[in-house]
Structure 1
Amino acid sequence: MTRPFDPQFDILYADEVARAGDDPRRLRKLFAAGYLHRVRRGAYVIKERWDAADARQQHLARVYAAAHDAREEFVVAGVSAAAVWDVPLFDPYGVDVEVLCEYCGGGRSEPGVRRLTASAEHASAIGHAGLVVTDLPRTVIDVACGRPLPEALAAVDWGISARNPARTSIAAIRDLMGDIGKRPGIRQVWRATELAVPDSGSGGESYARGVIHELGFEAPTTQLELRDAEGSMFADFGWLEVRVLGEFDGFVKYADARFNHGDPLEKLRRERGREARLRALGWTVVRITWADVRDPGALARILASAGVPRQRRFTA
């Protein structure tokens, strides 16, 4: 079988080192000396790269290493497929690589690999990123099943996102759920497909919208464009009838150079200037943080005090 190539870590494999005529024991010595990190037995990466990687990237390294060692080609599934497709997760990935198996009884079959069987007969696998993986609609369903609505919504939003180059459609997700039929937790995925939008700005924004829905507030317009003399601005959430804007402040915005061009203080200054422009247009601006969405009572008070309307079924 073809061995998958990991594009990020350039994993060092003991068997490949031996085939090249070098001594694989050098890898163990470098690991013992602290220069390498062991991903799994016989697979190593440069420790500095490992330490700099986020949880998703580290899990991907485990996926590639497990695929390298597989006796036969397997289908990456579950949270491991979510890592491949970059579907947002809000829990740890875990150390086991999840793969799909139609005929076995599930559970661990070997160290570091966990076999899944749920609705395996309805799974479609494709080649992606050098791996064989459940396709995006199936991966979204697997990740969303059984999870709270905010997490399920984040998965479905990413599945259909305009920012996702491999995006699928609500119709494709629903068609597959129709084929699967009954499965624990699948009703939550159906609910998420009713709320999903293709323009969510992040997994955090999707999660926040899920909490807002569960609290009984009306769904906001997403990525609302507003204009003034200086040009266009976009708000994460907007309730047009009451002229309220919601801005989700994921902690990553000010800490990650991708969002602030290397200067978090400059980013904060620009955001404050932008907020002043929005208020000058007559809008109320409320900021929603991770702490707020993790404390629904606090978020409900913030939205209610700003005048965000309730869904009709939640009104007296």
Structure 2
Amino acid sequence: MDDLRLVIDVNGGYVMRHQLNDIGHDDAAIRRAVRAGVLRRVRHGTYVLESTWSQLSATRRHCILARSVLEKLGPGVVASHHTAAALLGLDVYGADLGTVHVTRLDGRSGRREAGVVHHHGTVLPDEDLQTIDGLLVVSSMRAVFETCSQSSVESGMVVASSAMREHGLGADEMLDAGRRFDHWLGSRRARLAIRLSDGRLETVGEVRSLHMIWRHKIPRPELQHVITDADGRFVARTDFTWLEARHTGEFDGLSKYGRLNPDRTDPGATITSEKLREDAVRGQMFGMSRWGWDGLEDDVQAETAATIERGIERSRSLYTRNATTIALG
């Protein structure tokens, strides 16, 4: 078992059939290990430890699959599309993570086989390629545009906002660089997703929330606005703020109340803290709307948006009636 774990660690999460044979596990032993739940077969001739695999996120599993595919296919391909985005550490949402995407470097036509999509396209070595942990992947810029062109606007916003936040890419920079891909199917959708994206969005839930706001024609809010008291002291930083209406919006995801909650030993502590924070915001004459993952589902999203709109109008009525606007300049 020690030899097995060592091989899996060196490979980056998987072991090939021939490697199992090399360390003394014949095919009958491999089948027994699979039946016993020790190993899991994730691709033809590719195995992982079940105990580890079951604890991984879908994105981490995809990265392991990608590593095994790239090793098998060799230097004639490069990881691309959402596979490259995942390997580059970008957020991926709404993609088929059971399928690995590569782009051929040998000029041959594309094809789909055994859970791998082979794309055909022009790849410029000096602009489009980079190496991550020994793997050849397309650049962040290209990975974003590829993913956006084959995704919904919402999914594209997730990966583009992540690239802005994590890799320092700008929307104009990506749009300019993407002009060489204007002939691609889906390029217009990709450009829309990039224009709507913003690196200040800190989580997938916040990006999806901004997409919901755009989709339902709610005015675009300020992002990560800092609210201070009359003496200029910090009160709160809010996910979304409609300053003219003195209304704020907060996406409440798992990081606040679920398994990623920093107060896991006392979940009520986070809830109490958030309630006090909301009271402090309201104390500065701002209203607040809150929603979570459930509120972003397609069948209830319109209702969530309508609730936010009612909150905006209520705050406008309550907090701006006697407001004084001071002209600057």
Q: Tell me the TM-score normalised to structure 1 length.
A: 0.84
| Corresponding pairs, count | 300
* 1:128 aligned onto 2:129: no
1:67, 1:73 within 8 Å by CA — same for their partners in 2?
no
Q: Indicate conservation of the 8 Å contact 1:201/1:223, yes or no.
A: no
Q: Is residue 54 of structure 2 the alignment partner of residue 51 of structure 1? A: yes
> 1:297 — aligned with what?
302
Q: TM-score, normalised by structure 2?
A: 0.81
Q: CA, structure 1 residues 263+69, in 2 after alignment: closer, same or farther (shift >3 Å)?
A: farther
Residue in structure 1 matched with residue 157 of structure 2 by the alignment: 153
Partner of 1:97: 100
- What does 1:163-182 align with in structure 2 at a 5 Å threshold? 164=166, 166-182=167-183
User: Following TM superposition, where does structure 1 have runs of at least 4 consecutive aligned residues deviating by more than 6 angstroms?
Assistant: 4-8
The correspondence of residues 23-62 of structure 1 with structure 2, limited to 5 A, is 23-25=25-27, 26-62=29-65
Name the residue aligned to 1:264: 267
Residue 183 (structure 1) shift: 2.0
- Aligned equivalent of 2:24, options 14, 22, 25: 22
| Structure 2 CA distance for aligned equivalents of residues 6 and 221 of structure 1 | 44
Aligned partner of residue 267 in structure 1, secondary structure: helix
Root mean square deviation of aligned Cα: 2.8
Q: 1:35 to 1:114 in 2, by over 3 A?
A: same
Residue 236 of structure 1 pairs with residue 239 of structure 2: yes
> 1:159: how far off?
1.0
Query: Larger Cα Rg: Structure 1 or Structure 2?
Result: 2
State, as a whole percentage, how many aligned pairs show the same letter: 21
The one of 264, 285, 289 equivalent to 2:288 is 285
Task: Note if contact 1:76-1:98 (Cα within 8 Å) is conserved in structure 2.
Answer: yes
Unpaired segments ≥5 residues, structure 1: 310-316
Kindly tell me: are residues 134 and 24 of structure 1, through their superposed partners in 2, closer, same or farther at Cα, counting changes over 3 Å?
Answer: farther
Distance 1:257 1:196, change over 3 A: closer
Show structure 2 runs of 5+ residues with no match. 1-6, 315-329
Residue matched to 2:191: 190
Partner deviation per Cα, 1:102-151 (whole Å, 9 max, x = no partner): 52332225x3322122x444671210133111111111111111433322
Deviates more, 1:224-233 or 1:37-46: 224-233
